[in-house]
Chain A
Amino acid sequence: MSDKDHSSADDQALVRSAQKGDMGAFEELVARHRDKIYARALSMMRNEEEAVDLSQEAWVKGWQRLAQFQGEASFGTWMTRIVINLCLDQLRKHKRQRTESIEAMDEDSGGVERQMPVITVNPTAGLERTELRQRIDKALAKLSYEHRTVLVLHEFEEMEYKEIAKTMECSIGTVMSRLFYARRKMAAILADLRKEEGS
């Protein structure tokens, strides 16, 4: 398959060629999905350099496992799951390396979010796309990795509670409470950012 053919071929055809050892086809697949794979790694890791490295590692793993890809999900989804698992492994390593903060333990056991007053005014209403992205970025960075991961898997990966529980090796109840705290904390952080802007 020539370069011209690669750019005009659909993902399925490229995967079939790549499975036969066509590196050009695999390069085209990387070019098509690299932003999405990187974005997912960045959402989870909150570190550009680490996200680039992990996304590249995911592509190498993808190449190694290409023979196992049966096409049940789309190629993009399949690759996203690979990068998610790599990020989870990395985050678990980080967690083992550092002492868990009191704040993180408080969040896991219920924390202050349960009693927090409801944010009645939408803190992101009227914001431009770039500004909204910056604020979400700041807010995501303030979440513990468990809360951020649940949020990412639910909102971006559109996983159901059961699937998240399996991926994160925890109970469905834990997924539900983590997701609830993550959302409430996000709302509080976004409201604070709105106040800071107003003051």
Chain B
Amino acid sequence: MNFETQLKLQAYLDGELPESEAREVAKWLAHDQEVVLLLGELRNTRQAIAGFEAGVRLPESREFYWSKIDRAIGQLERPQPVAQKRPLFFRLQRFLAPVSGALALAVILGITLLNGNTGTTLGETELASEDMGAITFRSESEGMTTVWLYNRGDSEFTDDPAPDSVELQ
């Protein structure tokens, strides 16, 4: 008996053959004892395992078994913080935070470079134009910047501020 015949015999037992093929198998069974014996073996195995699951009982009490399921469901249903609706400002914050950080860094770098280019000592900047003279002073400790404006004609550089000096804070 070849393998194809064996599988056809099994399909016959399982009711999976079309009627024409089932009739063909019935003819084999009428003439071939080997086919009859194999069908008997397959049928016996099928019958032996048929009721196997019926006697299986869960080895845990109802309460104990349910408590784990209940706990797992409870955890699933806890409100998820991610799903909460937040105001627009807070949702934009995650995008604005890196941008503001980069801006702050650029300002610090700019100030540092500006200070470096003027070649003045830290905290003091001198700006000059053709007609007006200007001296700025920044006190880091007091957070204050002072700008002195003076007429070049009156003085090239003096410690005494001119009467029209402006103080900025």
**Interface residues of B, CB < 8 Å — how many?**
37
The CA of A35 and the CA of B49, in the complex, are separated in Å by 18
Q: Is the CB of A190 within 8 A of B45?
A: yes
The CA of A52 and the CA of B67, in the complex, are separated in Å by 13
Q: Is the CB of A52 within 8 A of B44?
A: no
B16 CB-CB contact with A under 8 Å: yes
Interface residue from B40, B55, B58, B73 paired with A34 (Cβ < 8 Å): B58
The CA of A116 and the CA of B139, in the complex, are separated in Å by 100
Residues of A within 8 A of B70 (CB): 23, 27
Residues of A within 8 A of B66 (CB): 27, 30-31
A48 CB-CB contact with B under 8 Å: yes
Number of A-B contacts (CB under 8 A): 113
Q: Is the CB of A176 within 8 A of B46?
A: no
B166 CB-CB contact with A under 8 Å: no
- The answer to whether A187 and B65 touch (CB under 8 A), given A52-B59, A129-B55, is no
30 A/B residue pairs, CB under 8 Å, sorted by A: A23-B73, A30-B66, A34-B62, A35-B57, A36-B53, A43-B53, A52-B58, A52-B59, A56-B68, A56-B69, A63-B73, A64-B76, A114-B3, A119-B41, A119-B44, A122-B44, A122-B48, A129-B55, A130-B55, A155-B49, A156-B53, A160-B16, A179-B10, A180-B7, A180-B10, A183-B10, A183-B45, A183-B46, A184-B41, A186-B49
Chain B residues at the A interface, C-beta cutoff of 8 Å: 3, 6-7, 10-11, 14, 16, 34, 37-38, 40-42, 44-46, 48-53, 55-60, 62, 65-66, 68-70, 72-73, 76
